[in-house]
């Protein structure tokens, strides 16, 4: 597996992912982990339009993505995994896929959330999921785009969710 990046961004593929992260990481394939989008041709079409022409796109349920990754279906392609929520990455980890780091990029304000950064708002359940992910040895950072500093995500949770 050649996973060069993993990002939580509820917008999935959009300007920051397509135009900033993909070239910075020299991504050859974006894998969107999203069951609903995988079943929806209109959503998949929109994601394809947002994906750079030189980059391949797979929109898959987590279980299928894990299977493809374990079977080395993508060979030496540089892979960038994107999901809307932390539970998708926890599911992937629980299915035996190793991740070194996850960048938490964008989670909108909802009822009951706390603002950790201008772009990231989480609730208590999200905080528990992130701690479970970190417990599996995954480094969590918050970084909007490659030109700004990354912040230790667990430290942000500890500072702001008291």
Q: Which domains does the chain have, with CATH numbers?
A: 3-160 (3.40.35.10)
Quick count: other Cβ atoms within 10 Å of Cβ 70?
12
40: tokens are: 């929806």
Of 113, 141, 111, 109, nearest to 127 (Cα)? 113
6 pLDDT band, cuts 50/70/90, is very high
Average pLDDT over residues 82-91: 98
14-18: Cβ within 8 A, 24+ apart? 14/50, 16/105, 16/106, 16/144, 16/145, 17/50, 17/80, 17/82, 17/105, 18/50, 18/51, 18/52, 18/55
Kindly report, residue by residue over 23-64, the tens digit of the pLDDT: 999 999 999 999 999 999 999 999 999 999 999 999 999 999
pLDDT on residue 103: 98
pLDDT on residue 15: 86
Of 41, 97, 101, nearest to 66 (Cα)? 97
Partnered with residue 32 across adjacent β-strands are 59, 82
Kindly report, residue by residue over 95-143, the tens digit of the pLDDT: 999 999 999 999 999 999 999 999 999 999 999 999 999 999 999 999 9
| CB 80, CB 4: distance < 8 Å | yes
| CB 99, CB 92: distance < 8 Å | yes
| CB 24, CB 79: distance < 8 Å | no
| Burial (Cβ within 10 Å: 0-12, 13-18, ≥19) of residue 161 | middle
């Amino acid at each position: 597996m050649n996973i060069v990046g993993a990002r939580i961004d509820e917008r999935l593929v959009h300007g920051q992912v397509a135009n900033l992260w993909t070239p910075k990481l020299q991504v050859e394939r974006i894998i969107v982990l999203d069951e609903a989008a995988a079943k929806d041709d209109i959503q998949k079409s929109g994601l394809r339009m947002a994906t750079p022409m030189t980059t391949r796109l797979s929109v898959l349920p987590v279980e299928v993505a894990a299977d493809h990754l374990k079977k080395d279906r993508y060979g030496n392609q540089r892979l960038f995994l994107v999901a809307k929520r932390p539970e998708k990455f926890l599911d992937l980890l629980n299915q035996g896929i190793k991740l070194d780091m996850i960048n938490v990029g964008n989670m909108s304000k909802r009822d009951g959330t706390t603002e950790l950064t201008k772009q990231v708002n989480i609730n208590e359940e999200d905080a528990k999921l992130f701690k479970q992910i970190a417990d599996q040895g995954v480094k969590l950072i918050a970084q909007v785009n490659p030109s700004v500093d990354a912040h230790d995500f667990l430290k942000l949770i500890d500072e702001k969710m008291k």
